[in-house]
Structure 1
Amino acid sequence: MRQEADSRPPSAAADVAAFLQKARETPPDPGRSGRLVFALDATMSRQPTWDQACHIQAEMFREAGQISGLEIKLVYFRGFGECRASRWFKDGQELAAVMSRISCQGGRTQIGKVLTAALKAASDDKIAALVYVGDCMEENVDVLCDKAGQLGMLGVPVFLFQEGRDGVAERAFREIARLTNGAFCRFDAGAAQQLADLLKAVAVFASGGRPALQQLERQGGRGATLLLSQLPPGG
């Protein structure tokens, strides 16, 4: 059962600022640049955001492709124990076509399997980061944190984006971000463009670092502008 949201006041601006600060502190590893694991909760409550994600990931490919290229492995879970990991995609339209054939199904979260898939990708293929988009957490948080700690030791940051204000999920997501030297950021259902801008900036940063972000900013990328404002000169 999903937990009630906590009663603390909204702090979306603070979340974004903290996210950008953590991104500044985790420069991309050249040996892993350009590869992201893009993980999504595909349970029934996620259908609207799943539809948005199909569009957002195409934008991620397009922006990163203009600079250094991007490869994405899609991981999603839904239904009764179903969790799947795709091959690596180099083309946004191809991945979007695959995602458009996936329907959301009711079920509990399987974030542990997402972290396991990221660990395997980090071991087999080398990855720049794991990006996760979800709204709740219905698992043993200590087990998740153990897997997150393993990712942290491998130098793989986890960037977590939470829709809504489920307090249990927020506490777990923040701890996973801390253990991996990643970042946490909330967004609301009406903030799809902000999510897209930040995800594009993360993808470009993972692919090419500060020079890539500067090019994205010159092209009008708002997420790049926000990220660059947190970077020190020459960082």
Structure 2
Amino acid sequence: MSDDRTPTRTGSTSKPAVQRSDSAAIDAFVRQARALATPDAGGQGGRLILALDATMSRQPTWDLACSLQGEMFDAVGKAGGLNVQLVYFRGFGECRSSRFVRDTDSLKELMTKIDCRGGHTQIGKVLSHALKENERGKVNALVYIGDAMEEGIDDLANKAGKLGLHGVPVFAFQEGHDPVAEAAFKEIARLSKGAWFRFDRSAASALSKLLSAVAVFASGGLKALEARGRAEDRLMIEHLKKAGGRG
């Protein structure tokens, strides 16, 4: 992992039994998330890693992705108390990261300067990077946005499981409908106790709200989502329950 360390250019059912079961699962996840995703006691706020696949296949919708991610940064700025790091990969083994910053305007500017380049996915590097960053300081969530998976699923699953054990949920947003990527992204989300969503250009507004919910979760955990209480927050809790509630 190449580490820039500065954000500069770098190249429904009605059955009572089911309802009780769902409620118990949600309650269990809420208790777990409160224990794992509470911001640090030192008052530095939560830390979120936003990782992007910048290979050539994403070029057609890169502008949309930048716009949505920019809206997430705006939501982060309004919520406060969240430090964001941008990670991206492209080309022949190029994988870079910025510093963790609260001034997300600089990250929005950086995203607009990144051009997509041909190359294979490097999701394993992203997951390994998140594990290393979590050793330096608590990482509350990892958001990954991509459309393909060209690596060994067993290696990715192992790293995702380690992230789950360390309380770093992966929120995987899949662009397109590639079945291999979908299976892998869902498994990464499940093992890390995160959530998987479809990154669809026809649902830009919904995606923006979901990304905002991720930001709120990373900055304040489930307590913050419950306090805000928007529809997207309830949806996020449900997705997290589905991913984290299965053994």
Aligned mates of 2:29, 2:199 — CA distance in 1? 17
Which of residues 193, 196, 202 is equivalent to 1:184? 196
Structure exhibiting the larger radius of gyration computed from Cα positions: 2
Matched, 1:167 2:176: no
Between 64-73 and 194-203, the greater mean CA deviation after superposition: 64-73
Distance 1:157 1:44 in 2: 27
Q: Give 1:52's aligned amino acid.
A: L
1:228 & 1:112 partners in 2: Cα distance? 26
Q: How many Å separate the matches in 2 of 1:228 and 1:169?
A: 23
Q: Return the letter of the residue paired with 1:170.
A: E
- 1:152 maps to 164
Count of aligned pairs:
209
Distance 1:101 1:224, change over 3 A: same
TM-score, normalised on structure 2? 0.75
What's the CA shift for 1:154?
1.1
Q: Which residue of 2 aligns with 1:82?
A: 94
Match of 2:154 in 1: 142
Q: Which SS does the other structure have where 2:120 is aligned?
A: coil
Moved more, 49-58 or 94-103: 49-58
Corresponding letter in the other structure for 1:47: Q
Instruction: Verify the 8 A CA contact 2:90 2:120 in the aligned structure 1.
Output: yes
Q: Secondary structure at the match of 2:202?
A: coil
What does 1:22-171 align with in structure 2 at a 5 Å threshold? Answer: 26-27=33-34, 28-31=37-40, 34-171=46-183
After the TM superposition, which parts of structure 1 deviate over 6 Å for at least 4 consecutive aligned residues? 228-232
Identity level (%): 56
Unaligned runs of 5+ in 2: 1-25, 242-247
Offset, 1:186: 1.5
> What CA distance in whole angstroms lies between the structure 2 residues aligned with 1:63 and 1:84?
24
Counterpart-to-counterpart distance in 1, 2:104 and 2:58: 21
CA separation of 1:213 and 1:191: change in aligned 2, threshold 3 A: same
Unaligned runs of 5+ in 1: 1-20
Give the whole-Å Cα distance in 1 for the aligned partners of 2:240 and 2:174.
24
8 Å Cα contact 2:174-2:199 kept in structure 1: yes
Measure, in 1, the Cα distance between the counterparts of 2:124 and 2:234: 33
Q: Structure 1 residues 135, 201: CA separation in 2 closer, same or farther (over 3 Å shift)?
A: same
